């Protein structure tokens, strides 16, 4: 049995301002640094052996801080976040007011929305699945940490736990939190064939 501790990065100024971050590299703010410090204490007894993260600034910074405090190996993975195109940097409330139909569609059927000059959610979903499959082939048991920003976090949780995607507008509010998933790598890999 493998335990995957799925971790959300600490907050950035964009999170506090309710701006869409997407693939933009924004450093953790003071609140985010405090969240990661608290997170490290919560994760201390989880038995983490290694922590993985993409190179996006909030995820990388969170993983590096956790690895340092918990004396873990940190490994970078090639997993760019969803490119949200011209939405990046916008206030979520601006999208809701200026594009109410698209805002609702992203809530209810995000797979059917392509932000202007961005990419479809399916592209990020494919990347997330490929990375998780690679990790499952490499590590069959133990406890690993995986730091992912939204919407990669929600996509990973959907793949690992076979659950609904949920409202991606609200999912971004969970910074500095984590979930533990117990998985049988062989079962998850067999389901993908």
CATH of residue 40's domain is 3.40.50.1240
Residue 191 has pLDDT above 80, yes or no: no
Residue 189: predicted pLDDT: 80
Residue 193: predicted pLDDT: 56
Judge if pTM exceeds 0.85: yes
**What tens digit of pLDDT does each residue of 122-181 get?**
999 999 999 999 999 999 899 999 999 999 999 999 999 988 887 787 766 788 899 999
Residue 6: predicted pLDDT: 97
Residue 188: predicted pLDDT: 78
Domain count, the chain: 1
| Residues above pLDDT 70, as percent of the chain | 98
9 phi and psi angles, rounded to 5 deg:
-65, 160
Residue 5 has pLDDT above 70, yes or no: yes
Residue 15: predicted pLDDT: 93
95 contacts 87 by C-beta, under 8 angstroms = yes
**What tens digit of pLDDT does each residue of 91-102 get?**
999 999 999 999
Write down how long the chain is: 193
Domain of 98 in residue numbering reads as: 2-192
CA distances from 191 to 74, 117, 127 (A): 28, 33, 17
Averaged confidence pLDDT in the chain: 93
């Amino acid at each position: 049995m493998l335990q995957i501790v799925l971790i959300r990065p600490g907050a950035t100024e964009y999170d506090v301002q309710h701006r869409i971050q997407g693939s933009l590299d924004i450093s953790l703010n003071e609140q985010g640094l405090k969240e990661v410090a608290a997170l490290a204490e919560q994760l201390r007894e989880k038995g983490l052996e290694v922590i993985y993260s993409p190179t996006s600034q909030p995820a990388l910074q969170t993983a590096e801080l956790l690895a340092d405090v918990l004396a873990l190996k940190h490994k970078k993975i090639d997993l760019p976040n969803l490119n949200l195109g011209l939405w990046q940097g916008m206030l979520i409330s601006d999208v809701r007011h200026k594009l109410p139909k698209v805002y609702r569609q992203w809530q209810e059927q995000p797979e059917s929305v392509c932000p202007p000059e961005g990419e479809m959610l399916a592209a990020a979903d494919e990347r997330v699945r490929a990375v998780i499959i690679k990790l499952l082939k490499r590590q069959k048991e133990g406890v690993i940490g995986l730091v992912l920003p939204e919407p990669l976090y929600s996509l990973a949780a959907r793949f690992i736990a076979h659950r609904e995607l949920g409202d991606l507008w609200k999912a971004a509010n969970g910074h500095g939190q984590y979930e533990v998933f117990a998985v049988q790598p062989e079962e998850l890999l067999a389901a993908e064939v």
